Chain A
């Protein structure tokens, strides 16, 4: 992953009038999305093409990505550009607010860009058309090949300004790409931008790989590989491509995740038919056993403060979710509803646990408070599991499989996302079939 350097040159906005300006409430399902006009960024005529990037179309392309990001949140309604009456450069200087109000735009995004000396300089503004005020103005410089990320960063800044929450557009998703017949699936690790662009394959498909998860610092991924037919937890450096096995366990290790500080990996180790939870410190290599029980203990996930662990166990007879202190003491069962519960994942905000529920042959993705109260089932299907949180804790990404006929006919595996409000369920586009998604944290923070 190339590090992107962003210089925030100035911010003209003064936050004094913040309360009087438009805002979007994202805590409830939003049935009345905010109409927003995203004017194409004006391309400075002094711009020169860079490698295969045609500068002429760049302003249009960036605004398209911003629009798609907004549309996908379900919170915004980007307006059709053919209704725009003001030219991008003039609107960016001083919008004629009455014209924008006429097409029902409540917010307006304008900007300009310059590609010169192998640099991309971008400036953008967000305007409140009702109050006739500028809400935010930012400028930054980066390498031109980062232009898609520029669009995502602009989206994040606007989302933050309008919702009061951190955005999640300048992020990536790592997942397992799937191809071939159901009984001989070729599985590869793949990574893409959250909008499905820039897909890269990180393994060749020679061995089975499962359950990749990001480290909070983003350069590292932990996953399960069947390399040499020995299922073990591995560590992969996305930048260098280096892979190494985690720890020296005399048996299967699986279900890995990072601790919130990225220093440890927590996982299951199966010995003589019994799976327990262990951690390994990546620097000191010290292994600690966290659970010791004759049942299956798996799918561990730390709370964001690192003090607690939620996990999956069948110690009561069937799969249920438990919470314990991070040293393994104080184990408490938190799910008592009808059905089975699996794949608990602690929200990055700390307030909720997402899970998969199986009841009467149907699969649900849901959220509950960390003590198990307030269960809300967000979506029901034939098969779906493995939710992963957006970095702001507002959206879940998961995978869904279809029912197959004789010989596996009609089988598909796809990525989907849903807001924790239960609204805005949508397919995440992938080049191949896909499963086991894991959402990164914000790349530019």
Chain B
């Protein structure tokens, strides 16, 4: 009897952990579209409902539909706060050569800047800096971490 009880507990624990790990696996794949991060784990907010960052595919600086949506929210916010200036930081993941990544980060930050400008934000209010792969937000060497690091982040400067 006692033995049976124990077995039951073990089985229960086993089932629970299988269910949990399945959940975790599902979640991490759910956070990627292609290799572009779509989750919210690392995202901060300029204001309620205004995410501060957008994500990119490997070696790319093209804006995704989701990124453009985020940037339009940022533009609306910046239009409402006319005295606010921002810096856009461009970043790359650790899987590229350092110098190319510096250029890539610069290109990503400018892609975001250009989009904000097409929505009426003056270029004078936006400065741009590339950190290449120097400032990862997730320091693990995993595809998920790399996708979170391929980003451009809009930061308030005043």
Do A and B form a real pair?
yes
Interface residues on A, range: 35 or more
Within 8 A of A (CB), among B98-146: 98-100, 102-104, 106-107, 109-111, 113-114, 128-131, 134-137, 139-141
> From residue B92, how far is it (CB to closest CB) to chain A in Å?
11
| A299 in contact with B97 (CB, 8 Å) | yes
Question: What is the interface of chain B mostly: helix, strand, loop, or mixed?
Answer: mixed
Which of A273, A314, A318, A356 counts the most chain B CB atoms within 10 A?
Answer: A273
> Total interface residues on B, using CB and 8 Å?
30
| A273 in contact with B106 (CB, 8 Å) | yes
The answer, yes or no, to whether A406 is at the interface (CB within 8 Å) is yes
Tell me which of B61, B96, B102 contacts A254 (CB under 8 A).
Answer: B102
| A343 in contact with B59 (CB, 8 Å) | no
* Extra contacts besides A183-B139, A298-B102, A314-B100 (16): CB < 8 Å: A181-B139, A182-B136, A183-B136, A183-B137, A185-B134, A224-B102, A231-B130, A252-B102, A255-B99, A273-B113, A296-B100, A314-B59, A343-B97, A386-B97, A405-B140, A407-B139
The answer, yes or no, to whether A14 is at the interface (CB within 8 Å) is no
Q: Take A273-B110, A401-B94 as given contacts and tell me if A299 and B140 are in contact as well, using a CB distance cutoff of 8 Å.
A: no
Residues of chain B lying within 8 A (CB to CB) of residue A275: 103, 106-107
| A299 in contact with B61 (CB, 8 Å) | no
Residues of chain B lying within 8 A (CB to CB) of residue A383: 94-95
Q: A201-221, CB under 8 A of B: which get 1 and which 0?
A: 000000010110000000000
Residues of chain B lying within 8 A (CB to CB) of residue A296: 100, 103-104, 107
Tell me which of B97, B107, B135, B140 contacts A406 (CB under 8 A).
Answer: B140
Residues of chain A lying within 8 A (CB to CB) of residue B128: 273
Residues of chain B lying within 8 A (CB to CB) of residue A185: 134
| B106 in contact with A342 (CB, 8 Å) | no
| B102 in contact with A231 (CB, 8 Å) | yes
Q: Take A383-B94, A404-B140 as given contacts and tell me if A299 and B107 are in contact as well, using a CB distance cutoff of 8 Å.
A: no
How far, in whole Å, are A255 and B102 apart by their CA atoms in the complex?
A: 9
| A312 in contact with B129 (CB, 8 Å) | no
| B103 in contact with A298 (CB, 8 Å) | yes
Residues of chain B lying within 8 A (CB to CB) of residue A403: 141
How far, in whole Å, are A314 and B139 apart by their CA atoms in the complex?
A: 27
